[in-house]
Amino acid sequence: MRQHPRARRLARHGQPDSVEELTRRNCICFYRNGELFNRWRLFHQGQQREVTVSGDRAADDGALVRHWAVQGQGIVYKSRLDLEGDLEAGRLVDLFPDARGEPSPLYVAYPSRRYQPARIKVLLGYLEEVFG
């Protein structure tokens, strides 16, 4: 069985043993509300762990940050919702599968509460089920 190029790159550089080791890795950061988001908070093994990371790339475009990660340019901290397909396809690897990132609000805007098309009801039901 052939190994995906991202998995080969991870094998070559080694998987981090701890969240704290991310400070010594090339991480891809992004700008959130005009500020560099480089303080990553993870809840791992019953503890909150926060690290300040750095890397050779940063952008204010989440799609570009995801693209760089898929290309193997570094480690990224993004919403699982955004990366799920890449994780399932093996294009990305979850380095800490038993860890959770900090919660992030998700808003759904739609025109009317009175009339909800079936697709909106299904979407809202799915989001409630997945994110509670």
pLDDT digits (tens, 9 = 90+) for 68-124: 999 999 999 998 888 999 999 999 999 999 888 888 777 888 777 788 888 888 988
Query: Does residue 51 have a pLDDT over 50?
Result: yes
Return phi, psi of residue 91, to 5°: -75, -25
pTM score, whole prediction? 0.76
Query: What pLDDT, on the 0 to 100 scale, is given for residue 4?
Result: 56
Query: What pLDDT, on the 0 to 100 scale, is given for residue 1?
Result: 45
Q: Read off the pLDDT of each residue in 21-37 and give the average, rounded to a whole number.
A: 94
Alpha helices in the chain (DSSP H): 5-13, 62-70, 80-89, 118-131
CATH homologous superfamily of 5-101: Periplasmic binding protein-like II (3.40.190.10)
